[in-house]
């Protein structure tokens, strides 16, 4: 867990800019940070999937249904596919999210 927490540190050795006080606490200090996971992520840790548009949300929904995975929340967040995304989170602004409804 210490390795994961390190990407949220005020300063990190691989990124020249320190974390700003306004930055969203849920976002890593370096927007290009990556975490490699061995094997898989337990499903109980997955609280939702964010995508950029409704077309992708429909595809994700179809994949989840195909694998009999039910009711993982899907959110459409158009801001995440814009060039302003990085600046938004550094300035403390949450992206707009629209819940994609699961048809019953």
The residues of the chain scoring below 50 in pLDDT are none
> What pTM did the predictor assign?
0.74
pLDDT digits (tens, 9 = 90+) for 43-73: 888 889 999 999 999 999 999 999 998 889 9
Q: Which two three-digit tokens encode residue 15?
A: 């990124």
């Amino acid at each position: 867990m210490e390795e994961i927490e390190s990407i949220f540190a005020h300063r990190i050795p691989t990124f020249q800019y320190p974390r700003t006080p306004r930055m969203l606490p849920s976002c890593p200090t370096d927007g290009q940070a990556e975490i490699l996971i061995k094997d898989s992520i337990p499903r109980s840790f997955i609280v939702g999937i964010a995508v950029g548009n409704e077309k992708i949300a429909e595809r994700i929904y179809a994949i989840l249904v195909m694998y009999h995975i039910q009711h993982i929340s899907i959110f459409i967040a158009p801001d995440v596919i814009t060039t302003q995304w990085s600046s938004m989170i550094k300035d403390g602004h949450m992206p707009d999210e629209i819940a994609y409804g699961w048809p019953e």
